[in-house]
Amino acid sequence: MTRAAGVSAAVVLACLALAQDFTKLTVEKIADGFRFTEGPAWSKEGFLVFSDTPTDRILKVVPGRRPEVLRDAANGPSGNAFDSQGRLYTCETRARRVVRADKGKIEAIAERWEGKRLNAPDDLVVARNGHVYFTDPAFGEQQDHRELDFYGVYHVSPKGAISLVARPVGRPNGIALSPNGRILYVSNSDEHNVRAYDLDHDGQASNERVLIAGIAGSPGGIAVDEKGELYVAANGVAIYTPEGRLLFVLDATQRVSNCAFGEADGKSLFLTERGGVYRARPEEPAAVAK
């Protein structure tokens, strides 16, 4: 295990290269000047989206260009995800719903459970087969407006049926899928752990177990690389093997809220922290003269 304390967010990004056996990494801040960024998600059309939750905006940025507003008045957006058709899904914490945007049309896919409004959906993931999974905690003032007496993890089928995956005691936060889409991962900010669930061909979850326990700090978003390693945003970023064995703990001076892999080859790592968004990219090997 390697531990680095008190480092900057940029250094955290550089250290993350170790988990993927990179020898060189280019790190850059691609966007800043925001209040609290969340929900990075890469579009196959070649751009990143992320939320600036306090200002009600979802932003779009193409690496190398300035960010632009993709959607404003977005009801306190948090987590974002794209499906295989390129449609954007967003957790709206203030409207207490999950929505899907398709060619300018915004449709709510989850608003209530058994007739009661959701707490404040926070993060979500979309499987390649169209199944959607999201977390529904409640933080801060969100606690004062709850109609449900529990925190939930939910599943929305491609046909729109909503089912409850879990009712943890603590607040679920980040959520992700294994590379083959057969395991669902959920972080819990209060219990300082990550749970895993097996998914069947219908997207139903079973075999709940604690995969990672004793996470330092309050775990948030999760990203999974092509090898199945888990990147958990907490006090910096903690990186684990698919079996839950700790590889690195990297502390940052700024809280990293979430992370996502992107670009055409999936090798760029994007991280959101309080006021900015970072991109970490392995350098291409130098050409050898013949």
Residue-wise pLDDT for 182-212, tens only, equals 999 999 999 999 999 999 999 999 999 999 9
pLDDT of residue 284: 66
User: Quick one: pLDDT at residue 237?
Assistant: 80
Instruction: Determine the pLDDT at residue 231.
Output: 93
> Where do we find the tokens 């990494």?
25
Contact predicate 245/230, CB 8 Å: no
Stretch 150-155: mean pLDDT, rounded?
98
pLDDT of res. 255: 82
Q: Where are the domains of the chain?
A: 2-282
Confidence of residue 248 (pLDDT cuts 50, 70, 90): confident
pLDDT for 268: 87
**Which pTM does this prediction carry?**
0.90
Beta strand ranges found along 137-262 (DSSP E): 152-156, 162-166, 172-177, 183-188, 193-199, 205-212, 222-224, 230-234, 236-240, 246-252, 256-262
Q: How confident is the model at residue 254 (pLDDT cuts 50, 70, 90)?
A: confident
* Position 29, amino acid: K
The Cα–Cα gap between 238 and 247 comes to 8
pLDDT digits (tens, 9 = 90+) for 212-243: 999 988 999 999 999 999 999 988 788 899 99
Q: Is domain 2-282 in CATH 2.120.10.30, yes or no?
A: yes
